[in-house]
């Protein structure tokens, strides 16, 4: 099965990690086949969408048979670069940054925060969750070439300046946990996760769109 990333719509690509995690669990429990209905119930995506998503990968489930779990997993592993470790840098070791360093994605996939930066003197040189905190002023010299993804957990007021410097240092993707909306060149991708906005939206939906 050949993966042609350009042909996968972005909405489908966003669901890949979700499918991947569920299929990994299935394989661990020894299951070899899965139907789109089973998948649909587990990942809460309707089965027509799943079938359409999977058709982009050239994976066509047979009626009454379902999808082959290990076949799909090996495809996802390649597509999501799971055979390769993706190294990530974190900037801002406050409450949220500290939590990420302890969590460090180790249970889910091959993504790992390999270094962190902060400006507070007492934090520099310390290890949190096995990750060393470096002095932010040394970012450009210290950041290895193979680290192109950054997590931003700094105060909003510092976010744009830090994003600019991260990009100068070779970062191509930023997961922005600050409320600041970042301006970046077209060659850089920013995913924005504002936890308080997400929570507010959930509360609003509960109130105004009861299930």
CB-wise, 53 or 118, nearer to ligand ATP? Answer: 118
The residues in 87-126 that bind ligand ATP, with binding defined as CB under 6 A, are 91-97, 117-120
Residue 96, annotated ligand binder?
yes
What is d(CA 150, CA 167) in angstroms, rounded to the nearest whole number? 10
**Selected range binding ligand ATP among 29-37, 52-60, 72-80, 85-93, rule: CB under 6 A:** 85-93
Residue 114, annotated ligand binder?
no
What is d(CA 211, CA 209) in angstroms, rounded to the nearest whole number? 6
CB-wise, 61 or 97, nearer to ligand ATP? Answer: 97
HSE at residue 157, side-chain half, CA atoms within 13 A, is 0
What is d(CA 173, CA 111) in angstroms, rounded to the nearest whole number? 13
**26 is a site residue for ligand ATP (CB under 6 A):** no
CA 125, 129, 131, 136 torsion-angle sign: negative
Going by the DSSP 8-state scheme, the letter that residue 46 receives in this structure is -
Residue 170, annotated ligand binder?
no
**196 is a site residue for ligand ATP (CB under 6 A):** no
Among all residues, whose Cβ is closest to ligand ATP?
A: 94
The residues in 152-191 that bind ligand ATP, with binding defined as CB under 6 A, are 153-155, 158, 162
């Amino acid at each position: 099965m050949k993966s042609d990333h350009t042909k996968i719509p972005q909405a489908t690509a966003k669901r890949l990690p979700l499918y991947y995690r569920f299929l990994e669990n299935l394989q661990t429990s020894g299951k070899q086949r899965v139907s789109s209905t089973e998948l649909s119930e587990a990942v809460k995506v309707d089965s027509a969408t799943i079938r359409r998503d999977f058709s982009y990968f050239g994976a066509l489930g047979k009626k009454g048979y379902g999808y082959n779990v290990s076949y799909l997993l090996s495809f996802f592993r390649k597509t999501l670069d799971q055979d390769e470790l993706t190294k990530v840098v974190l900037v801002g070791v406050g409450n949220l940054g500290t939590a990420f360093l302890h969590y460090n994605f180790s249970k889910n996939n091959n993504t790992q925060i390999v270094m962190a930066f902060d400006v507070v003197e007492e934090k520099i040189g310390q290890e949190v969750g096995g990750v060393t905190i470096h002095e932010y002023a040394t970012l450009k010299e210290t950041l290895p070439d193979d680290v192109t993804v950054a997590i931003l957990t700094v105060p909003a007021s510092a976010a744009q300046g830090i994003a600019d410097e991260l990009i100068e240092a070779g970062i191509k993707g930023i997961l922005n946990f600050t409320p600041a909306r970042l301006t970046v060149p077209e060659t850089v991708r920013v995913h924005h996760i504002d936890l308080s906005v997400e929570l507010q939206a959930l509360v609003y939906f509960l109130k105004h769109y009861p299930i």
